[in-house]
A and B are shown apart, each in its own frame.
Chain A
């Protein structure tokens, strides 16, 4: 029996395959450098461009609510109260938080709020704990995390995976709240992708994963009836901090 595993990353396996399809296409290989993709239009960049942050906030709110998100706009000084209300309303007993450094929490005026939390347990997503983080996220009633951007057009938060805030942080807890500064609202997915592409290429962002999350998980697989909350969080809140 052929040992196919030996063929993975084997240059011969790749070359045989690529030469075969090049021959079938009757086109020479390595012609891309002389024929790069030049887009026929700039719709991804120009659609919804030229809006002010206030206009984008209004659009973002409407579109987020359309995808079953509870959307709030608060001042940084009131953020702690908003988070406490969320914890009380969802009857959260176990909470998951990211393990970003003190500076990040203080930037959001949440340094003291963190210390005042009375919940037990509070799980922090710690890279040193490895896969125990997954178990902790699964045991958490809620997660409160930080998103990179909010996309006005679709009501989408975008989040890269960081050592302090891993992939399953955003999926396994039952309820989920994301904090986003108003200054990080972008028109649409293209502007976010421009950022990620540049940051990855330049090396300023080292991540294995980028999530674009548009409201809670859902399905229409049973008689096309919309069910909100399937594998991911059952519900989702976006809190926009307007004076950051």
Chain B
């Protein structure tokens, strides 16, 4: 399935999301809470636009010189005694880590939250090793794992779609006997995972930023699980998207500041850490430190209109302002990368065929572009996808193209246009329904259409499925007709 989280059609997923009232209320609550926290954190920092300029510049500079920075990073990882493997796709990356786990005779593997390991399907690959157990240690990812590997709904808040009662039931399966109070459940997980941590021998983390000039890895969390994952196991594997690199600790510091404010409205999260394999005279930290640099289709963005997407620092703030995400949540997108960033990234990494609907899950309101801390023109890129799908790949096999051509001809011809005006009411009036007291007054004086027969064109269905269409006025009452007579009367009166 790759980055897909569902094999259902897009509209089926949207319908399921529409019916999930708890999820929609949770997403709305999270968006509203994050709006307040994010705005305040950025205000307190001051000159937010200046910070965006600097952050975008750092990311653009790194992408421009990506091979050079990866080369420098690789040299330093090796100088520190570590190992680095460049994987051109997810299969190579997963195979490398699986072979390493077998070689190291890994029994108890711990992971800290990582989008890229989900992207390459690492968990399922590792679980094919006999006798190996795997534990996600981020609280949300742990909940999803114990709930039969349920899929995340947000890149920063993966369990937004679950309520406390559902989570209580998940924990009861592993021995929890308490109530549904979040603090009590978290305390149970703390003890459960601490016991596992103490016997772990193999740790896997993602990477917020790799530091080119010293070979360190920067990770940002609130729970502290990533730090334990980097300290107790004798072997640590860092999995990083190839673009997640910065020149030095200073640029990591700048980006951590905008990342934490944008992701969770905090000045810094509880833990921002910079680490590598342990020094000889230190007692903890990994003896063996491995980095797997993953391309997995990212190269397709280089030197194209989509290159700015490589600037993304996975803060999730575009999800938190998106009106479409607010309604359909992460599962509606059917990709591990949802929301506006997912609508741009998923068709590139997962293919247009599988994710062709996502660029249309967008109202083009541009709120995502405005909030992006690294200034990715998300809305422009979403429109660019639509262009590619329609004009380059011809993915729309419906009559839409023919219909739009007909509309073009009709609106360009006064004769045809006037005929359309003349018969619009007669043609559509049979599908109209009477207005109700709940409708806005005078919006539908001739009735409204909210259902069309199955044979109606897709273009028309696309309109009335999600919003009401007013029945056009009778010809003698339409605006053009009225204006024409009004102008004549005015002229007559002036004479």
Question: Using a CB–CB distance below 8 Å, which chain A residues touch chain B?
Answer: 2-5, 7-9, 13-14, 16-22, 24-27, 29-32, 35, 37, 39-41, 43-44, 47, 63, 67, 125-127, 129-131, 133-135, 138, 153-156, 161-163, 166-168, 171-172, 189-190, 193-194, 196-197, 200, 206-225, 227, 229-232
6 closest Cβ contacts across the A-B interface?
Answer: A232-B224, A17-B86, A221-B140, A154-B267, A222-B182, A25-B302
Q: Are A222 and B302 in touch, CB under 8 angstroms?
A: no
Cβ contacts under 8 Å, A153 to chain B = 267
Please report which residues of chain B, range 215-250, place their CB below 8 angstroms from some CB of chain A when the two chains form the complex.
Answer: 222-225, 227-228, 230-232, 242, 247-250
Is the beta-carbon distance between B47 and A163 smaller than 8 angstroms?
Answer: no
Task: Chain A residues near B46: list those with CB within 8 A.
Answer: 47
Q: Contacts A27-B303, A167-B231: A213 and B30 contacting too (C-beta < 8 A)?
A: no
- Which among B83, B273, B303 is the interface contact of A9 at CB below 8 angstroms? B83
Q: In the complex, what's the smallest C-beta–C-beta distance from B169 to chain A, in angstroms? A: 13
Given that A130-B283, A213-B271 are contacting pairs, would A32 and B65 also be in contact in the complex, using a CB cutoff of 8 Å? Answer: yes
CB < 8 Å neighbour of A13 from B85, B248, B269: B85
B114 within 8 A of A: no
Inter-chain pairs besides A39-B54, A153-B267, 6 sampled, C-beta below 8 Å: A20-B88, A25-B67, A162-B282, A193-B252, A221-B138, A224-B33
- Render B246-266 as a binary contact track against A, CB cut-off 8 A, 1 for contact: 011111111011000000101
Give CA–CA (A27, B264) in the complex, Å: 36
Are A227 and B182 also in contact (CB < 8 A) when A167-B284, A190-B250, A221-B143 are? Answer: yes
Complex contact A166–B222 (CB within 8 A): no
The answer, among A17, A35, A172, A222, for a CB contact under 8 Å with B295, is A17
Q: How far is the CA of A24 from the CA of B228 in the complex (A)?
A: 38
- Chain A CB within 8 A of B450 CB: no
Contact A47 B45, beta carbon cutoff 8 Å: yes
> Are A14 and B302 interface neighbours, CB within 8 A?
no
Q: A29-B68, A47-B45, A231-B137 are in contact. Are A4 and B96 (CB under 8 A)?
A: yes
Q: Is the CB of A231 within 8 A of B190?
A: yes
Distance in angstroms from A202 CB to nearest chain B CB is 12
- Residues in chain A near residue B198, CB distance under 8 A: 134-135, 138
Contacts of B61 in A (CB 8 A): 35, 37
Tell me whether A127 and B282 are in contact (CB under 8 A).
Answer: yes
| Residues of chain B with a CB closer than 8 A to A7's CB | 85-86, 96
- CA A77 to CA B26, docked complex, whole Å: 51
Whole-angstrom CA separation of A153 from B46 in the bound complex: 12
- Inter-chain residue pair count (beta carbon < 8 A): 288
- Which listed segment binds A: B122-130, B157-165, B484-492? B157-165
A40-B268 CB under 8 A given contacts A4-B85, A5-B100, A221-B140: no
Decide: A222 near B164, CB < 8 A? Known: A9-B83, A13-B86, A18-B67.
Answer: yes
Provide the bound-state CA to CA distance between A229 and B143, in Å.
Answer: 17
Contact flag A37-B223 (CB < 8 Å), given A130-B283, A206-B279, A213-B270? no
Complex Cα spacing A210 to B285, Å: 12
- State whether B295 touches A21 (Cβ < 8 A): yes
Whether B249 and A193, one on each chain, are in contact in the complex, defined by CB atoms closer than 8 angstroms, is yes
Contact in complex: A210, B302 (CB < 8 Å): no
A110–B158 alpha-carbon span in the complex (Å): 46
> Measured between alpha carbons, how far is A130 from B232 in the docked complex, in Å?
11
Q: Is the CB of B253 within 8 A of A193?
A: yes
Residues of B in contact (CB 8 Å), total 104
Minimum CB distance partner of A189 in chain B = B253
B183 at interface (Cβ–Cβ under 8 A)?
Answer: yes
* Cβ-defined contact, B99 with A5, below 8 A: yes
Most buried by B among A7, A19, A25, A162: A25
Indicate with 1 or 0, residue by residue over B262-294, a CB within 8 angstroms of chain A CB atoms. Answer: 001011111111111111011111000010010
The answer to whether A44 and B157 have CB atoms under 8 Å apart is: no
User: For residue B247, which residues in chain A have a CB less than 8 angstroms away from its CB?
Assistant: 37
Cβ of B176 within 8 Å of any chain A Cβ, yes or no, is no
| CB pair A209 B285 closer than 8 Å | yes
CB nearest to B29 among chain A residues: A224
Give min CB distance, B365 to chain A, whole Å: 24
Q: Are B268 and A230 in contact (CB under 8 A)?
A: no
A217 to B227 CA separation, bound complex (whole angstroms): 11
Q: Counting CB contacts under 8 A, is B312 at the interface? A: no
Answer whether A43 and B268 are a contact pair too, CB < 8 Å, given A197-B249, A218-B223.
no
Q: Is the CB of A44 within 8 A of B254?
A: yes
Taken together as a complex, chains A and B put the C-alpha atoms of A67 and B65 apart, in Å, by: 38
Q: Does B16 contact A (CB under 8 A)?
A: no
Subset of 18 A-B contacts with CB under 8 Å: A7-B86, A8-B290, A14-B86, A35-B61, A39-B58, A41-B53, A67-B270, A131-B284, A135-B198, A161-B285, A166-B282, A166-B283, A167-B230, A172-B194, A217-B270, A220-B264, A231-B194, A231-B225
A166→B250 CA distance, assembly (Å): 24
Chain A residues with Cβ below 8 Å from B193 are 231
Contacts of A207 in B (CB 8 A): 279, 282
Query: Are A21's CB and B84's CB within 8 A?
Result: no
Give Cα A127 to B283, complex, Å.
5
Partner among A24, A41, A211, A222 whose Cβ is within 8 Å of the Cβ of B271? A211
B222 near A218 with CB under 8 A, answer yes
Is B405 interfacial (CB-CB < 8 Å)? no
Q: B475 at the A/B interface (Cβ < 8 Å)?
A: no
CB pair A224–B302 under 8 Å, yes or no, is: no
Choose among A27, A135, A212 the residue that contacts B268 (Cβ–Cβ < 8 A): A212
- Docked-complex contact A222 and B65, CB < 8 angstroms: no
Complex Cα gap A168–B167 (Å): 29
Residue pair B68, A8 in contact (C-beta under 8 Å):
no
Nearest A residue to B212 via CB reads A32
Taking the closest CB of chain A, its distance from the CB of B303, in whole angstroms, is 5
Are the C-beta atoms of B29 and A210 separated by less than 8 Å?
no
Would you call A163 and B227 a contact (CB within 8 A)? no
Q: A224 vs B222: C-alpha distance in the bound complex, in angstroms?
A: 13
Q: By the criterion CB–CB under 8 Å, are A156 and B67 in contact? A: no
Q: Is B74 an interface residue (CB 8 A)?
A: yes
Chain B residues with CB below 8 A from A67, complex form: 266, 270
- Report if B335 contacts A (CB, 8 A): no
A11 to chain B, nearest CB (A): 9
